[in-house]
Amino acid sequence: MAKRADDHPGSLSVPAAINVSLPRQFGNGDFIEWASRFELCSRSNGWNDTVMAIWLCTLLEGDACTIYQSLPEDVLSSYQALKQAMVARIHPEDLAHSALQRFEERYLRAGETVESFAYHLRRLLALAMPRLLRSCSYTISFVAYRFAQQRTSTVQRHYNALLERLVFQLE
């Protein structure tokens, strides 16, 4: 049985066996989304902040790995500090425009659940406008839900009007 890092205070014991599979390697894209999956797996494996920081670097490739290697040593030993530094460098300001464009173009795909559709809209909106009020994000989800359910011209008009207001706020 693998020892947990917190079994012996002051010592670092990385578990020998992984009980829960980890997400695929990350090179580019939505780091926040990927990190949330990594955190779920890590917590399921019983890893603490330090062990998570150690494992994180093994799952980075490409630009993400280059960014990781450029970070100062004091950041590398804490997963929370590491995540914050990675997010700041991987999600530049121009990502907001790209996310908003993808938000505008997003539609309910064949076989996709309404919950999944609304989730992806919220994620794109969070990337496009990180400071947007939470209530607006859930309004988007509700409108998306109604649009996916009914696909009526009235709901479509409300959806388009909401998009126009969001684009105006971003500009």
CA 6/CA 44 separation, integer angstroms: 14
Give the model confidence (pLDDT) of 142-160 as tens digits.
Answer: 666 666 655 556 656 666 6
- Contact (CB, 8 A) for 53 and 77: yes
Q: Which of 116, 141, 114 is nearest to 126 (CA)?
A: 141
- Enter the pTM of the model: 0.57
**Helices 114-128 & 31-44, crossing angle to 10 degrees?**
120
Residue 133 confidence (pLDDT) above 60: no
Task: Choose the most confident range, by mean pLDDT, from 39-43, 90-94, 120-124.
Answer: 39-43
